[in-house]
Amino acid sequence: MTDNWINETWDKIKLKMRKTAERNQNTLPYTAVNGHYDNRYETDVSWWTNGFWPGLMWLMYSAEAGEVYKTAAESSEKLLDKAMENFNDLMHDVGFMWHISAGADYRLTGNKDSLRRVMHAANLLAGRYNINGRFIRAWNGDMYGWAIIDCMMNLPLLYFASRETGDNRFYDIAVSHADTTMKNHIRPDGSARHIINYDTHTGEVLEVMGGQGYDEHSSWSRGQAWALYGFALSYKHTGDKKYLDTAKRVAHYFISCICGDWLPRCDFRAPEEPVIYDSTAGACAACGLLEIADNVLENEKRVYYSAAVNILKSMDAKFCDWDPERDSILQYGTERYHGESGRHIPIIYGDYFFVEAIYRLKGFKPIFW
């Protein structure tokens, strides 16, 4: 049953992605309005999600080898050069921006320009490390001591840079940030805090903030997903069991919150009404669950694998638009809990993670993180 569903879903992805790639060369989409992607190259080239479209194209290329995917990925990667020039607008999300775009290009094709881009990004990320507080600062302006759970997904860029150059500084910064995050962001029950403001001289926790979730005591589901997949990836790159155990603890919490109808609410501790979904959290968590399933003993795998499949199947039934003439597969992404704008919309990383999850289920080996 599940094998049939995986094969059918992959076939639908192939059909839709080919048409979408043909329509969207040389662009940096974020969301779709009335079935048409926007282009952040024109409005916000430094936007943190701009690596996901080329990343998605490289995913498809590595599985299906179509030239249309390669040309879309390469042209978008070049558009991102303008963001590198706008240094002031770049934040910790240089990992999201370049690791799965230029980094994937380099790993798949050996392109030396891509290596230069991804190493530039790694140096920018390493430069944001606060030595006293042992964390990577997230944002700019006067938010000197702010670190956010999302950054766990930027660490693979640093692990890659260390491996590539033999320079352990990148690795050391990544594990130091992961350790600080594990200590302060992950609560004993496996839920994750979104934002922490540290004293930049002593590393003392000054304040915990709810950020994109309901409040500082709640659990923003995309933040849980960043933690789940992010710690699983830190385990992949370091082999340090404490990261796998942390990923599992977050996963158990995530599964307990979603196992009713397997559709991710935007915040697991928000009031029951209004019902606000965030499909991107489900898609990213599914990838993290599959990564955990790949790294646990045979008799543990089922817990993580079947939770991932349940989430993906529920979202396929309720949230997916399979019309090949319309851009974007996964609907019902939500940027943040509060405020009605950016609620229940298609978001590019929802598609990226949804496709990556099915790609994993098909048995392709991800080289992306």
Q: Return residues touching ligand GLY (CB under 6 A).
A: 48, 150, 212, 222, 335
Comparison of 9 and 180: residue with beta carbon closer to ligand GLY: 180
Q: Mind giving me the DSSP string for 288-346?
A: HHHHHHTTS-HHHHHHHHHHHHHHHHHHHHHHB---TTSS-SB--B-S-SSSSTT-SB-
CB of 118 vs ligand GLY, minimal distance in Å? 19
Comparison of 20 and 221: residue with beta carbon closer to ligand GLY: 221
Comparison of 172 and 335: residue with beta carbon closer to ligand GLY: 335
Comparison of 40 and 222: residue with beta carbon closer to ligand GLY: 222
Task: At 149, list the tokens.
Answer: 């759970």
- For the CA atoms of 204, 206, 207, 211, what is the dihedral angle to 10 degrees? -70
CB of 318 vs ligand GLY, minimal distance in Å? 21
CB of 222 vs ligand GLY, minimal distance in Å? 5
Residue with tokens 């991710």: 264
CB of 150 vs ligand GLY, minimal distance in Å? 4
Q: Mind giving me the DSSP string for 224-276?
A: HHHHHHHHHHHHHHH--HHHHHHHHHHHHHHHHHHTTTS--BSBTTS-SSS--
Question: What's the CA gap between 287 and 233, in Å, rounded?
Answer: 10
Hey, CA dihedral for 119, 124, 130, 134, is it positive or negative?
Answer: negative
Comparison of 127 and 342: residue with beta carbon closer to ligand GLY: 342
CB of 208 vs ligand GLY, minimal distance in Å? 17
Asked if 132 contacts 90 with a C-beta cutoff of 8 angstroms, the reply is no
Task: At 290, list the tokens.
Answer: 């599959």
Asked if 347 contacts 281 with a C-beta cutoff of 8 angstroms, the reply is no
Comparison of 225 and 309: residue with beta carbon closer to ligand GLY: 225
What is the DSSP pairing of strand 135-136 with strand 129-130? antiparallel
DSSP-derived secondary structure letter, 128: T
User: Within its chain, how far is the Cα of 250 from the centroid?
Assistant: 16
Question: What's the CA gap between 40 and 368, in Å, rounded?
Answer: 22
Closest chain position to ligand GLY (CB)? 150
CB of 100 vs ligand GLY, minimal distance in Å? 14
Comparison of 48 and 354: residue with beta carbon closer to ligand GLY: 48
CB of 335 vs ligand GLY, minimal distance in Å? 6
Comparison of 138 and 173: residue with beta carbon closer to ligand GLY: 138
CB of 344 vs ligand GLY, minimal distance in Å? 15
